[in-house]
Structures are given as structure tokens and as C-alpha cells.
Chains A and B, each alone.
Chain A
């Protein structure tokens, strides 16, 4: 017997995040580190917990090792529960064969048995691609108030950018009358955030029908939502106005990290009423040396900073030696920037070493667009090497650049 739950959340975490290139070579996008100690998935998971949702299925597919290890028993998010809690749901083999998750809707379809255990009133569909703080319980209250079949969270984007999003056109009451995927001529600015709340029974019905349709691409945005709309279901847009950022590209990931800095940051990590939880290793405190200069930076535990760090986000266990300079960059766990090296406008993935005299990234010349250099997991950039602005160097690319030498 399972305790009945009002709402079960299903978190789609199987995406590759191919536009993050080398950063997602070995990890799924939701496991990409963010903000000095977090991973992207901490945000939707913490939102769930802060919204009183204690049953979360995490659907994994692409490179799940790091993600599985990270989620573990869910203890950091207080999701190690005897009833509910967090459950990783990978694709599996069944009596009539095995199948990968064909699309977002199919992933949920294949795990209807997980949802049914809790016999919920509502199912909340989330993605692991965004940085935001949101109280889903307010969305559920709105859904109930409207007597909706489905509620979709929307975010107002500038009209000039609206054609990059799925746009929900609504009437005065907030009811969705039309859905347009990436419209050329957008009629409104309500962009779908990829957060869907469904009445559970209705969702099951639609997922079963969708699965039976061999022409369907089994996707929420492409199939389920348009079909429901076409059949006149009560669908409402729930307007969200806080901070929300898609971190699907190198530039947007870098931007979102930079949003944490400044005197009045766009996104405040220090809000104790709405904490973002994460798995935290026990590391010694950060040491800031005698000659160091640290301005406008987020610095984590286990760091040893003796050089200059400005406008940057440093994860745990990072060493910046005396005479090294890190500016406008994101430096992930375990990196070492040696004396005399310079890192600017760059993202260093975990365990990167930058030798003395190497230069990674650069500020754009006037009139040129600023691009971010990326150094992949574990790459050791040798003395005197230069990684140009916007260059992406995984281990393989760096070996090639070095003329096939081992890195």
C-alpha cells in the first residue's frame, strides 16, 4: 500500500543538452554544476520540497551516472522518505520488449505505474533545464481555482524574443485559446516554461491515446498539449514573474552564473525562506591569502585563493595561486589555476588545470560579440598555451590541437 499523494512531480532529466557541448559530454544536462555549489537539478528539486511536494520521479536516460550518484537517496533535499521521496526512473525492459524514452510524453507514459501507486489528484511535469525559484503550490491553488484540466506556467518574454519560445495565447480569464510553437509573428509574450500541471486521470487517458498513435512524436509540446487544446479541455496559463533562466547554452549558463553577482543580484541565493538544497561535501573552509584580491565573487569551501579573482563564480576545491588571475569566469570543482595564468570570460569544467603562463579566454574587442571559452573536464592546459575567446576544448580537441600528444 502506498500513501495517497495530492500531487506527484515528474522531472524530465534525460536530456543531453547538446548545446552545452563539452560540459555535457559525460553528464546529463540537469547534473551540470551551477552557482558555486549546485547542479541545475537542485532548483526544480528544491522547488518541489519548498512547495510541499514530497514525491518526485526523476526520468533519466542520457549519461545517468553522475546524476544518479548525485540524487542518491534524496537526503540533501529531505526526499529520503518512507512514503514517496525521490525515485530515479530510467528506461527499462518489460515483457513486450525494451524501449528508450521516445519523447517527453512517452517517458511519462512508461512510468504511469509509478504515478498510479500514489493515486494522485495532480501530476506536475518539470524539466531539469532552468534556474528559478517557484512555489508550485501557488500554481496548484490557481489550477483548482480555475477548475482547470491542465495549467501551464508561462513567463513574459520580450516580444522580440517571443519567436524562440512556445507561446500561449490566452483570453482575459487566462484560459489558453491557442498554442504556437516558435511563431514567426508572435501574438503574445506568454512563453511556456515547460512546467505542466495535469489532472492525473485525464493525463493518463491522453498518454494512453498518444502512445497508440504511431504518427505521434510522443512529445508534450508537439502532441499532448495541442491535442488537449483542440479537444476543448480547460487549459489555463499561470503567469510566473520571478527569476527564470534557461541555461541550455554556454552563453546563457555563463550569464545565469553572472546573475548571482553584484550588489543587488538578479537572483538571490541567500534567501533563507526559500533555500536551494544541494549535496554538499564536507570540505575545509576557504582560505583567502595575504596577497589575494577578491572582488565581486562567489567562493566556495575547500578553496585556496592567493591570486586575483574578480566577477567570478568559483566552485569548491579550487586553487588560484598567487599571481594567477581569474576574471568574469565560472570555475568548477577541483580546478587549479597556477601562478601567472590568466582566465577570463571562460567556463572551466571540473578538475581542469591551467599551467603558469597559459591564457584561457579573452574579452571581446569593441563591436565584437563576447563569447565564452570552455575547457572540458580534466583537461590540463600547458604553460604558454592560449585558448581563444569562445573556443571549446574537450580532452580530445586539446589533444588534437597539441598534435596528438596525450593530455
Chain B
């Protein structure tokens, strides 16, 4: 089988959830009670035997570096391969345009040298804002069998007025060969279609040639210039993924997909309970969670290190959260080390790390617009 290296884009689409990416990358946005978004692509790669992984960063990447550390939590602290973070490379004079990359294609061009030094047959590219548990080994195998230059993972969804503009809609022939792509269209017809889920398998030499070609022509869009231009010419295929997939395009999406983890046991199961494909994350040395005698917890996901003395319903508590007596937390997401005093009421709130709610604070958002409290605020 073809050997694969991984490339993860940590900052692509940061703007879609600006409330949570003000001081961090999309990759390090907390999700699912104890994970960061990067844990999904990283675990997918590691679980598929990919152990040479590069993470491309842009800005705000301190939290990402702290999360990844040496990579040992993903078994990526290797002498050969392992994980590396590719920080933006800018020198005072040697860079051709002396600017940070703006697009996916520019990002790839900026690490062209790294890609050229890899030894693997294919590279697997993945973003961080798509949440799924996918067997990439299967995808690489399909890529190899079809003899493709590039294989794009797609998911079949119903196109609606709400989601049409967030998606890249893909058409293919019976053999799975790409026939057309529509990048963020505005028109929809309410039928099912395949949409791009931002995971690609590309032959490494094909990618290198495409990058050199893009440089020569001044191209800057991956989907328009690399994919669209080559449809019908090169061997571009789709790979249909039929497991759970969530794409976070807005804070409302973030909130709804989080709540879906509570609503739907199958979603939790699909994402987290596959014994062959566990989602790995940085392990923190927290004590287990304590439910006090007066605690009342219903339908919630709770990480380690929490102390709960109040009521928690339909909520997600990350590590080290403390809920005081008489406090009621409903339909909310509280990030690491959020503390609530006594008699606090929270409904539809997303509290970033280290938020402190003093006694008696009442705060509510709405499911369509959850109230986000920024990191470290004291209320």
C-alpha cells in the first residue's frame, strides 16, 4: 500500500467562529468536552498509520503548540517522522513576496520545500473545522485502486438554502471521477449532493508539480486553480465518507454540533467509541470528577477534574470546571477551569477558559445565538 504523510491546516476558516479564535487557531478550539478540533484530524491520521505529520500554522499558534507539545499523546514523539509545527517562514529578504499566505494554495506553496523532502508516496491534507472519525487507510487504498492523482473526500448531504453557500458541491461520474465543482454557490435545488469535506489524498509528486505550476502562473486558489482547472485532464476522484461529519461554519454551528453530542447517542458513539479509532488528546493530570451530595446532573458530558455542587442539564463541562451550590447551568458549554459561584444561572452560554461567574449572576443566550463569554472574563 502507498505510504502517506499528513498535512493539517490549523488556521483555515478561523473567521467563521471569531469569538473562539480571537486568541487561538481553529485547530486549538475546544470541542466535545475534552478535545481540541485538531485532535480529530490528528487521531484520524495516527489511527490510519500516518506518523509523519506537519501542521501548518499562520498566527495565534501558541495554544496549538502547547496542546501538541512533543506529540507524545498521539504517539507522535518519534525519532523518525512524528509531528512538527510549520510556523510561517518569513525572512527579511529571501521570501519571494514577504507576506503571510492567504489561501490554502499559498500555504502549501510556502511549505513546498518540506513536501519535497518527504519520502511518502501520498500526502493526506486535512482541515480542523470538520469533525469526523474517518478511516484514512481506506481512503488511501481507494485512491491507490482508482489510480488517482488526487482524491477528494465528500459527504452526501441535502443542499438547503442555509448550507449551500458554506459548501463546495462536487459532481462525479459513475467511476467516481470528478466532473464539476461549484465553489460556495448561491443557488440550490433542495436535492442531495456530494460536498467536499476538506480531506484530500494527493500523490506527492503530483502535488509538487501542481505547486510549481501554480507559482509560475500566479495561481492562488486550491479549489479553483488546482482542482477546477484540471477536471477532465488529470485523474481527480472522489471518496464518499458515510460516517458522522460536522462542519463548523459559525458559532451557531459550533453550539448545535456540541448539543448534538448530548442529543444523539449514535453521534457520540460514531465519534468517540470506535475501539480501533479512539480520538486522542493531550492528557491532563486531573483528578476524577466529583458529584457532591447536592448535585443534580442530567444529560451532560463532563470531563475530569470538575467539582459539581449544583445543577447541570444538557451541558458540556470541560476539565476543571467548578459549579457552586444553588447554581443552575442549562444548555451551556463551559470551557476549561470555568468557575461559577453560588446561585448562578446560565442558559445557552459558551464560556471560554478561566471565566469566573460570581454569585448570583444570571446570563442567557438563545440556541440560535449562544452568548459567548471571552476567555478570562470575570462577571
Contact = CB atoms under 8 A, between A and B. Distances in A.
A260 B289 CA distance: 11
A286 B301 contact: yes
- Which of B73, B303, B304 has the largest number of chain A CB atoms within 10 A? B304
Interface string B72-93: 1100000000000000000000
A36 interface: yes
Interface in B261-308: 268, 272-273, 278-281, 283-285, 287-295, 297-305, 307
B33 interface: yes
A285 B283 contact: no
Nearest to B281: A282
B293 A298 contact: no
Interface stretch (A9-17, A242-250, A269-277, A342-350): A269-277
Contact of A282 (B33, B73, B293, B301): B73
Interface string B27-40: 00000111000000
A58 B310 CA distance: 42
A287 to B, nearest CB: 6
Interface stretch (A94-102, A139-147, A288-296): A288-296
Contacts of A76: 285
Contact of B303 (A260, A285, A295, A314): A285
Given A75-B72, A296-B292, A301-B34, A285 B301 contact: yes
A326 to B, nearest CB: 12
A299 interface: yes
Nearest to A278: B285
A314 B291 CA distance: 11
A296 B290 CA distance: 7
A376 interface: no
B279 A299 contact: no
A27 B362 CA distance: 51
A275 B285 contact: yes
- For chain B, the bracket of interface size reads 35 or more
B279 A282 contact: yes
Contacts of A36: 287-288
Contacts, number: 107
B292 A284 contact: no
A292 B297 contact: yes
A35 B288 contact: yes
B293 A37 contact: no
A297 interface: yes
A127 interface: no
Nearest to A275: B285
Majority-rule SS of A interface residues: loop
Interface string A37-75: 100000000000000000000000000000000000001
A284 B303 CA distance: 8
Interface residues of A, number: 41
B314 to A, nearest CB: 9
Contact of A285 (B32, B73, B294): B32
A184 to B, nearest CB: 41
A291 B305 CA distance: 23
Most buried by A among B278, B287, B300: B287
Contacts of B301: 285-288
Given A284-B272, A285-B33, A300 B279 contact: no
A263 interface: yes
Interface in B294-331: 294-295, 297-305, 307, 316
Nearest to B304: A301
A210 to B, nearest CB: 39
Given A282-B279, A296-B292, A269 B287 contact: yes
Contacts of B283: 280-282
A292 B304 CA distance: 18
A295 B289 contact: no
B287 A299 contact: no
Contacts of A283: 278
A270 B287 contact: yes
Contact of B289 (A261, A275, A300): A300
B289 A299 contact: yes
Contacts of A295: 291-295
A263 B59 CA distance: 44
Nearest to A262: B293
Nearest to B317: A285
Contacts of B297: 288, 292, 294
A258 to B, nearest CB: 13
Given A75-B72, A270-B287, A276-B287, A263 B304 contact: no
B268 A287 contact: yes
B209 to A, nearest CB: 39
A35 B297 CA distance: 21
Contact of B287 (A37, A284, A294): A37
A217 B37 CA distance: 59
A294 B273 contact: no
A276 B287 CA distance: 8
A282 B278 contact: yes
Contacts of A299: 288-291, 302
Contacts of B289: 286, 298-300
Contacts of B33: 284-285
A300 B290 contact: no
B298 A290 contact: yes
B291 A284 contact: no
Given A287-B268, A292-B298, A296-B293, A301 B285 contact: no
B292 A263 contact: yes
Nearest to B282: A282
A299 B295 CA distance: 13
Interface in A200-230: none
Interface string A75-108: 1100000000000000000000000000000000
B291 A294 contact: yes
Given A294-B297, A295-B295, A301-B34, A288 B302 contact: yes
A284 B261 CA distance: 12
Nearest to A268: B287
B305 to A, nearest CB: 8
Given A285-B302, A287-B268, A288-B298, A297 B291 contact: yes
Contacts of A35: 287-288
Contacts of B268: 284, 287
Nearest to A37: B288
Contacts of A298: 287-291
30 contacts: A260-B290, A261-B290, A263-B292, A263-B293, A270-B305, A275-B285, A277-B285, A280-B283, A281-B283, A282-B281, A282-B283, A284-B272, A285-B34, A285-B302, A285-B316, A287-B300, A288-B298, A288-B300, A288-B302, A292-B298, A294-B291, A296-B292, A298-B287, A298-B291, A300-B288, A300-B304, A301-B34, A301-B288, A301-B304, A316-B288
Interface of A: 35-37, 75-76, 260-263, 269-270, 275-278, 280-292, 294-301, 309, 313-316
Given A292-B297, A295-B294, A298-B291, 4 more contacts: A75-B72, A284-B34, A299-B290, A300-B289
